[in-house]
Structure 1
Amino acid sequence: MPDVNPRTQRYLPWIVASALFMEQMDATIVNTGIPAMAADLGTTPLALKAVSSSYVLALAMSIPASGWLANRFGTRRIFLSAIVVFTLASLACGLAPSVAMLVACRVLQGMSAAMMMPVGRMTLVRSFPKSQLLQAMNFMVIPALMGPLLGPTVGGLIVHWGSWREMFFVNVPVGLAALAFGLRHMPDYRAESVKPFDLRGMLLFGGGTALLSWLLEVFGAHGLGHGEALAWLAASVALMGGYAWHSRHHAAPLLNLALLKVRTFRVSVLGGMFTRLGIGGTPLLLPLLYQVGLGMPAWQSGLLMMPAAAAAMVMKTLAQRVLGRFGYRRVLMVNTWIVAVCIAAFSQVGLTTPIPLIVGLGLVMGLANSLQFTSLNTIAFADLGERDTADGSTIASTFQQLSLSFGLASGTLAAGYFLAQAPSGVEGGALPALHKAFLLLAAFTLAASTMFRTLRDRDGDNVSRPGRADAEEASASFRPT
């Protein structure tokens, strides 16, 4: 690992976290303002579905190219360019005079956001020794947790007190601050030799992930029948299966899927997907529980979402000690059960449940979620050599994007199915249906615990227990599966 200025190491996590905060907030804040956008632009809310789906499509399609671009042009140039484009696109979204212009600017946002997550993560991994990686990557957990929780609340408040256009202007000062610090402290890494760009692989893998992300984004939308949805799903699976075959027979594939043979990386990526099936659906179900089930106003519902975000920040200071004391295997297995129990506990929240009890439950779930994501994000790179950082970061970011979409889709499916059977016009009539949805998401989360059993007791020690595995840190070899 090259020598890095201590000031760079001090500011780099904040720079990456700021960029990711913009991305996560923007991905969740927009849906709140769609009715106001439709009224102002003279169209229907359904016609504005493209505002969110275009962002998801551009994001999923562009992520696979991020690793190659960073290796070819340097992490500094790609990351800072992505911040500039994202900030300008956000400003343009707020000023857009028509639906077509708004959608075009959202595409630019999605393409630039696709560079920020994997390239930022890649830069962090290359800038810190593995013994310090856990502490550095803690900052990446905060935007991932706060965005889905605070985005709808902030969006609702902005639309209530101002204009929908101001939702996009929120990104401008954050982007300018991240750019100012990035120009001074963002390191520049690139590969000594860059393989030719795998265009066919990009079309296969990028097309498959984009199609699947779009399908999950419009999941449950009117006009998309079961037969049509299955056809699109089959096309997506065929494209990604085609890439799997292509990558095995191509001398320099776009993404090296052989990295999934590394046990710790495989557990992080696939175990993370199962985990997010449950956790990813809670930002949708919790507002429904508070507003539809308990009859709370939107502002009170929003306030009840904040304890989890606050607890996530507290866990940032505790995660390294917890992982250092118990190890990744034990933490992930036990904490997955804690997360599942917290999700299931919301099935007991009713009209007579005291508010302090709900707040306490939110705090515990925020702590557990934060520890879960910190563990998953850091163990992914425990056994990857420096030469594999770009591919590893790109693969992890791609699967994370898909798993977030899967999580929201699972929440939508559970809520829609059970609420369709709930009586209407009865106080608290939706509660039993929502309680069943929480139990289903808890069961999804528990499925991840089977994946974490494949870890070994010493896996991740070079990240969570500095000094025990220093000899392994410089090695680029894989651990046996």
Structure 2
Amino acid sequence: MTDTSTVKSYLPWLVATALFMEQLDATIVNTAIPSIAASLNVTPLSLKSVVTSYILSLAVGIPVSGWMADRFGTRRVFGTAIAIFTLASVLCGLSVNAEMMVFARLLQGLGGAMMMPVGRLAIIRTFPKSELLGAMNFVILPALIGPLLGPTVGGLIVHWASWRAIFFVNVPVGLLALFLVFRYMPDYKGAEPRPLDVIGLILFSSGTALLSWLLEIFGEHTLDMVTMMLMLGLSVALLAAYVWHANKEEFPLLRLALLKVRTFRISVLGGFITRLGIGGLPFLLPLLYQLGLKLPAWQSGLLMMPTAAAAMGMKLIAPKVLARFGYRQVLIVNTICIGLTIALFTLVGPGTPWYAIAGIGLLQGFFNSLQFSSMNTLAYADVAQKDSSMASTIASSFQQLSMSFGLASGSLVTGWFLGRVPQTDQVMVTSALHHAFLALAITTMLSSLVFWRLRRGDGESISRGKPQAQEASAQDSAPLSQA
């Protein structure tokens, strides 16, 4: 039997490794689409489904992951997720046609969907709240670094080897992760197994999957506007029907009553809005560097490295910053700082020195890392241990939606300002990107208003290891006993 201290030492590494695989694969395939299309004898546009299928399966799989963890245990579900993800990676690399590739990516997304909430749940239940900040601060790094490294790593692999190697690199990592799972992953189960909300699963998953798909294809003219609006209305109706269903169901798929916990609600909703600005950066920055500055892909990738380096360095400082200033002050000020650094990219043009661009990237990574560390840990400050599984599932579902919204908003805003100007027009492309950065910066700064609803002592059970005031705790937790 592995002792608790050993589990605490290895579990963050295990979860971080699995999440890194999942986040990296969400973007690494993008730069390989032309090579994959040539190999499979199809057009690059027809392989758009290879990208969207992964995102769709994430949207469908995440909501049911909490129920599976409660029913079958975190060790079995997390190990199965890694096994599915690794097997699907092999199938992707062996694909002989587009249909096989899409099926393999759907399977890969389902594996990835179980990794994120179940891994986070294991962390929450293993570490006391006084130690949760350090553990979560380490685990969220893949979410910051994966999307930044994905296009660069994918481009380098395609340049030096076959596109199939993009997927095969997951095999040794997956096998190592499986070994660590069955050695160090604790096996937590729900105290009282609840029935699966099948109707809720159909309503919520179909609504989020349809909405995510529409966001991915919006602006590509593959559907006429009337059809797009009808499908958008259908997705909204499905999600509204789920809310109505969840309020009546005794054991809903996602217990939305948990949002009555004030700090959890502010963290989830505030994070959702904040990611609308931040989420567009992995899409916009490569366009700025490659189309606006005319840099090759490898140099564009190098310019994104300072952001990843700053994000890693920030994990050493975040606990002290939060302990010193508190969640309320940090999130209000830091959200504005993120918006200002996004706005600084409007000053980047063909004549901008590389070290100035790297400096902005360092600031961006620094503030982004602090933001995600703060939002992701504040969410569990006042959530009872028995509700941690549901809280993790809800937070992961909202984060997946916000990622889709963020990427879509970046492309939509850029397309709006670019209009019908050819993408070969360097001056106009750069101007359109500058306008997009400014719009996303304003959106991000406005999201700081959500965090004004925090109180001065919120989150001290995590940042300082202090229990929340009994009055506030009783007020915020009372609805849960009735839900």
TM-score bin (small chain): over 0.9
| 1:179, distance to aligned residue in structure 2 (A) | 1.3
Corresponding residue for residue 122 of structure 2: 123
| 1:287, distance to aligned residue in structure 2 (A) | 0.9
Counterparts in 2 of 1:52 and 1:421: CA distance versus 1, 3 Å: closer
Alpha-carbon displacement from aligned partner over 1:56-95 (angstroms, at most 9, x marks no partner) = 1111111111111100000110001100110111011101
Give the TM-score taking structure 1 as reference length. Answer: 0.96
Corresponding residue for residue 104 of structure 2: 105
Corresponding residue for residue 364 of structure 1: 363
Corresponding residue for residue 194 of structure 2: 195
Greater shift in the superposed pair: 402-411 or 430-439: 430-439
Instruction: For 1:75-86, list aligned pairs within 5 A.
Output: 75-86=74-85
Counterparts in 2 of 1:70 and 1:476: CA distance versus 1, 3 Å: farther
| 1:222, distance to aligned residue in structure 2 (A) | 2.8
Q: Is 1:181 matched up with 2:180?
A: yes
Instruction: For 1:108-257, list aligned pairs within 5 A.
Output: 108-257=107-256
Amino acid of the residue matched to residue 104 of structure 1? Answer: F
Name the SS of the counterpart of 1:428 in structure 2: helix
Instruction: Give the Cα–Cα distance (whole angstroms) in 2 for the partners of residues 473 and 135 of structure 1.
Output: 25
Q: Is the 8 A contact 1:294 1:428 kept in 2?
A: no
Counterparts in 2 of 1:308 and 1:173: CA distance versus 1, 3 Å: same
Counterparts in 2 of 1:226 and 1:419: CA distance versus 1, 3 Å: same
Counterparts in 2 of 1:266 and 1:477: CA distance versus 1, 3 Å: closer
Instruction: Give the Cα–Cα distance (whole angstroms) in 2 for the partners of residues 200 and 127 of structure 1.
Output: 32
Counterparts in 2 of 1:22 and 1:425: CA distance versus 1, 3 Å: closer
Q: Is the 8 A contact 1:137 1:378 kept in 2?
A: yes
Name the SS of the counterpart of 1:447 in structure 2: helix
Q: Is the 8 A contact 1:133 1:463 kept in 2?
A: yes
Instruction: Give the Cα–Cα distance (whole angstroms) in 1 for the partners of residues 204 and 3 of structure 2.
Output: 34
| 1:420, distance to aligned residue in structure 2 (A) | 2.4
Q: Is the 8 A contact 1:30 1:52 kept in 2?
A: yes
Instruction: Give the Cα–Cα distance (whole angstroms) in 1 for the partners of residues 27 and 442 of structure 2.
Output: 25
Counterparts in 2 of 1:475 and 1:309: CA distance versus 1, 3 Å: farther
Q: Is the 8 A contact 2:382 2:473 kept in 1?
A: no
- Aligned-residue CA RMSD (Å): 2.0
Instruction: Give the Cα–Cα distance (whole angstroms) in 1 for the partners of residues 377 and 438 of structure 2.
Output: 29
Q: Is the 8 A contact 2:291 2:424 kept in 1?
A: no
Amino acid of the residue matched to residue 405 of structure 1? Answer: S
Q: Is the 8 A contact 1:134 1:378 kept in 2?
A: yes
Corresponding residue for residue 430 of structure 1: 429
Q: Is 1:443 matched up with 2:455?
A: no
| 1:480, distance to aligned residue in structure 2 (A) | 8.8
Instruction: Give the Cα–Cα distance (whole angstroms) in 2 for the partners of residues 79 and 352 of structure 1.
Output: 48
Q: Is the 8 A contact 1:4 1:127 kept in 2?
A: no
Name the SS of the counterpart of 1:437 in structure 2: helix
Q: Is the 8 A contact 1:247 1:257 kept in 2?
A: yes
Corresponding residue for residue 308 of structure 1: 307
Identity of aligned residues (%): 58
Greater shift in the superposed pair: 471-480 or 173-182: 471-480
After superposing on structure 2, the runs of 4+ consecutive aligned residues of structure 1 that deviate more than 3 Å are: 421-429, 467-477
| 1:419, distance to aligned residue in structure 2 (A) | 2.1
Alpha-carbon displacement from aligned partner over 1:5-31 (angstroms, at most 9, x marks no partner) = 110011101100001000000001111
Amino acid of the residue matched to residue 340 of structure 2? Answer: V
Corresponding residue for residue 281 of structure 2: 282
Instruction: Give the Cα–Cα distance (whole angstroms) in 1 for the partners of residues 301 and 20 of structure 2.
Output: 18
Counterparts in 2 of 1:234 and 1:4: CA distance versus 1, 3 Å: farther
Q: Is the 8 A contact 1:422 1:433 kept in 2?
A: no
Amino acid of the residue matched to residue 221 of structure 2? Answer: H
Q: Is the 8 A contact 2:12 2:139 kept in 1?
A: yes
Counterparts in 2 of 1:134 and 1:424: CA distance versus 1, 3 Å: closer
Q: Is the 8 A contact 2:290 2:297 kept in 1?
A: yes
Instruction: Give the Cα–Cα distance (whole angstroms) in 2 for the partners of residues 230 and 34 of structure 1.
Output: 29
Counterparts in 2 of 1:472 and 1:127: CA distance versus 1, 3 Å: farther
Counterparts in 2 of 1:176 and 1:476: CA distance versus 1, 3 Å: farther
Greater shift in the superposed pair: 68-77 or 439-448: 439-448
Corresponding residue for residue 327 of structure 1: 326
Alpha-carbon displacement from aligned partner over 1:301-349 (angstroms, at most 9, x marks no partner) = 1100110001000001111000000000000000001000000000011
Q: Is the 8 A contact 1:82 1:115 kept in 2?
A: yes
Q: Is the 8 A contact 2:291 2:426 kept in 1?
A: no
Q: Is 1:416 matched up with 2:383?
A: no
Amino acid of the residue matched to residue 33 of structure 1? Answer: A
Counterparts in 2 of 1:480 and 1:450: CA distance versus 1, 3 Å: farther
Name the SS of the counterpart of 1:35 in structure 2: helix
Greater shift in the superposed pair: 339-348 or 223-232: 223-232
Counterparts in 2 of 1:426 and 1:249: CA distance versus 1, 3 Å: closer
Q: Is the 8 A contact 2:291 2:423 kept in 1?
A: no
Give the TM-score taking structure 2 as reference length. Answer: 0.96
Name the SS of the counterpart of 2:42 in structure 1: coil
- Equivalenced residues, count: 479
Q: Is the 8 A contact 1:383 1:476 kept in 2?
A: no
Instruction: Give the Cα–Cα distance (whole angstroms) in 2 for the partners of residues 260 and 239 of structure 1.
Output: 20
Unaligned residue ranges in structure 2 (runs of 5+): none
